[in-house]
Amino acid sequence: MNATVTKKKTANKKAAAKDIKEIPPQKQNKQPGIESKMDPEPIYDNGKPGLGRLKGKVAIITGGDSGIGRAVAISFAKEGADIVIAYLDEHEDAKQTAADIKKYGKEALLIPGDLSIEKNCKKVIDKAIAKFGAIDILVNNAAQQYVQKNIEDITAEQLHKTFSTNIYPYFYMSKFAMPHLKEGNVIINTASVTAFKGNPLLMDYSSTKGAIVAFTRAFSEPALERGVRVNAVAPGPVWTPLIPASFDAKHVEEFGKNTPMKRPAQPYEIAGSYVFLATDESSFIIGQTIHPNGGSIINA
């Protein structure tokens, strides 16, 4: 990498959120996308110190190698938590996330694998317990999406892939985590504004996000009987690798401009919602969905 490119990437990482208004056309050809290939690169750390609100905690974050997951991992580490990152196969992104976590003096355990396979979810839980002896926070976050304009073009294979990636692991991870979670521990599920507004280009993806909201509500009561709080976050448009990996270059260029804020969020702008739900500051919030979406009005 030459000095000019390095300087540009460094500048992007330090850019203000308003700079995200301008996104050049771009396209990636593999899901869920590679963060290091994005222009501008997402900003996942706001540069502000944490307050120690998660000191001594252990958090598992699926899809924690990039995008929202990486921003949540960084924010949790800044608040004092050790982090387990479960991810598919984006090894370089995962290594960068681990380096950022360690920068704040916390441990990072990387576990690659396809979480649509139930036994891989159990492996994540087992390895986390073997390494840290406890789990305090589970963030179900990993997802993929595939654009189709017509329902006739959504094949059975695509439908199965979207649901097995986006919702099955939420059940699997929660099921295997629950025996290890104690009173006061939390599960946070990543939904989406598409669960409430839909997206005509993402019919199957929107359906899985609606399922996540319903799962959060349904699971919150039995989990609460065991002292565990379950909530969800439904972000609006966020500049993550899923975007250039899903949409054509023109759509990417216009991404987020239809919100009242006229831009997509940087991942770090979403992470605070997860920190809030992970701490005792949200102790009376159960089965709810928080909406950091740039001003879109949602009837939840």
How many structural domains compose the chain?
Answer: 1
| Cβ–Cβ under 8 Å, residues 234 and 291 | yes
Tell me what pLDDT residue 195 has.
Answer: 97
Q: Is residue 280 part of a domain?
A: yes
**Residue 164 is encoded by which pair of tokens?**
């097995």
DSSP assignments along 220-253, one per residue:
HHHHHTTT-EEEEE---SB--THHHHHS-HHHHH
Q: What phi-psi label fits residue 166: left (phi over 0), alpha (psi between -120 and 50 degrees) or beta?
A: alpha
Q: Which domain holds residue 124?
A: 53-290
Please compute the mean of the pLDDT values over residues 266-293 and round it to a whole number: 98
Q: Catalytic site residues?
A: 205
Short-list 63, 185, 57, CA closest to 113: 63
> What is the sign, positive or negative, of the torsion defined by CA atoms of 42, 21, 192, 27?
negative
Q: Is residue 181 part of a domain?
A: yes
Per-residue pLDDT band for 21 (boundaries 50, 70, 90) equals low
Q: Is residue 5 part of a domain?
A: no
* Domain of residue 121, CATH code: 3.40.50.720
Average pLDDT of every residue of the chain: 92
Q: Is residue 285 part of a domain?
A: yes
pLDDT in tens, 100-124: 999 999 999 999 999 999 999 999 9
Q: Tokens 């595939």 belong to which residue? A: 146
For residue 210, which amino acid is it?
G
Q: Is residue 15 part of a domain?
A: no
Q: What Cα–Cα distance (Å) separates residue 138 from each residue in 20, 163, 172, 178?
A: 29, 20, 12, 10
pLDDT in tens, 34-83: 877 899 888 999 999 999 999 999 999 999 999 999 999 999 999 999 99
Q: Is residue 9 part of a domain?
A: no
Percent residues over pLDDT 90 in the chain = 83
Q: Which pTM does this prediction carry?
A: 0.91
Tell me what pLDDT residue 252 has.
Answer: 93
Instruction: Please give the Cα distance from 162 to 156 (Å, whole number).
Output: 10
> At 190, which helix (H) or strand (E)?
strand 186-190
pLDDT in tens, 122-159: 999 999 999 999 999 999 999 999 999 999 999 999 99
Instruction: Please give the Cα distance from 144 to 162 (Å, whole number).
Output: 6
**Residue 206 is encoded by which pair of tokens?**
């929107």
Tell me what pLDDT residue 4 has.
Answer: 39
Q: Is residue 175 part of a domain?
A: yes
Q: Is residue 295 part of a domain?
A: no
Instruction: Please give the Cα distance from 31 to 289 (Å, whole number).
Output: 26
